[in-house]
Each structure stands twice: as structure tokens, then as C-alpha cells.
């Protein structure tokens, strides 16, 4: 089947198998490997991307279901060589260890901050509950999201 998508601002048109998952389309067809394949059962959230602004686990969506959509992956957050405040927050606040869950966490947090620019710690934890981290214990991830929210509030990207 032929699909057309816009990924990180670039238009793509591809012939895909009807059963191809979006995560495999992004990684294997478009070579955007920042989207990670974790559990393939939608439990971990490592494959989270934004589809039309909504955080979606790309292992649960067929590429053909994304036809016509605007998709943002972790590679699409930085602009003009500057990290997005969430990416910077994960760096500054040590919100990652192995980094495997980080792209999905950042994109889930992006959706959270777009809906609630000043979340409480409890709201951050609730907003990220569909994404699992096996290394950090979450405290630094929460601090990273708080960092990004503060940067946005003070005019930092």
C-alpha cells in the first residue's frame, strides 16, 4: 500500500506492506533509529512518537494507519543545532542512564507539557506512567521534565 507521511517536517511517500508497524517503518524504511523497539507489546513506551501531536506507541500502530499524518520522532525535536528543553533537561538533570527509554519518555513528556505547561510532580508521574524505565528510578526523569517546564516558562525554547 502507498502511504504519505510527514516525519520531522519532511514529506515521505512509500510503498509498505499492510502489516508493517509504524515503528519498523520509521526504523527500517526511513532509518530513524531513535525510536526504540522495547517490548513489542505496548507496555514499555520506548517506541513512543508523536502522531499529529499525540503520543502514540508506534509498536501498536500500522504504518498504513499513519497515512496522511504528521509524525515527530526524537530526531525531530532539536532545532538549529539546539537541543529541545526536554532533551537538555534529561542531560542536565541526569534523567537517563542506559538511554533506551529516553526517546519515548521525552516524547511522552512533550505531549504532557503541551497540554499542561506547569505540571506538578504527581502530574508528571501520571503523564509518564505508560513509559517504563528499568534503570533510573524515575526521580531524575521527573526533574528533567520540571527543568523543561521551567525553561519554557522563562522563555527558553
How far apart, in whole angstroms, are the C-alpha atoms of residue 19 and residue 22?
9
How far does the chain reach from its first CA to its final CA, in angstroms? 38
My answer on whether 62 and 97 are in the same domain is no
DSSP calls for 121-137: HHHHHHHTTTS--SSS-
In tens, the pLDDT along 84-94 reads 999 999 999 99
Q: What is the pLDDT of residue 157?
A: 57
Q: What is the pLDDT of residue 153?
A: 83
In tens, the pLDDT along 75-111 reads 999 999 999 999 999 999 999 889 999 999 999 999 9
My answer on whether 70 and 89 are in the same domain is no
In tens, the pLDDT along 48-84 reads 999 999 999 999 999 999 999 999 999 999 999 999 9
My answer on whether 68 and 129 are in the same domain is no
My answer on whether 72 and 96 are in the same domain is no
My answer on whether 30 and 67 are in the same domain is yes
Q: Which domain range does residue 113 map to?
A: 85-153
Q: Per-residue pLDDT for 8 more than 70?
A: yes
Amino acid at each position: 500500500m502507498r502511504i504519505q507521511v510527514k516525519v520531522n517536517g519532511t514529506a515521505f511517500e512509500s510503498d509498505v506492506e499492510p502489516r508493517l508497524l509504524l515503528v519498523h517503518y520509521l526504523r527500517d524504511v526511513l532509518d530513524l533509529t531513535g525510536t526504540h523497539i522495547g517490548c513489542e507489546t505496548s507496555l514499555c513506551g520506548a517506541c513512543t512518537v508523536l502522531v499529529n501531536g499525540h503520543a502514540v506507541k508506534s509498536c501498536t500502530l500500522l504504518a498504513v494507519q499513519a497515512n496522511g499524518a504528521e509524525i515527530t520522532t526524537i530526531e525531530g525535536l532539536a532545532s538549529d543545532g539546539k537541543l529541545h528543553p526536554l532533551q537538555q533537561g534529561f542531560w542536565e538533570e541526569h534523567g537517563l542512564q542506559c538511554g533506551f527509554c529516553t526517546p519515548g519518555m521525552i516524547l511522552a513528556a512533550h505531549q504532557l507539557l503541551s497540554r499542561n505547561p506547569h505540571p506538578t510532580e504527581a502530574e508528571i508521574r501520571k503523564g509518564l506512567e505508560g513509559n517504563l524505565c528499568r534503570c533510573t528510578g524515575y526521580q531524575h526523569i521527573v526533574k528533567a521534565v520540571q527543568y523543561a517546564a521551567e525553561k519554557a516558562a522563562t522563555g527558553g525554547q
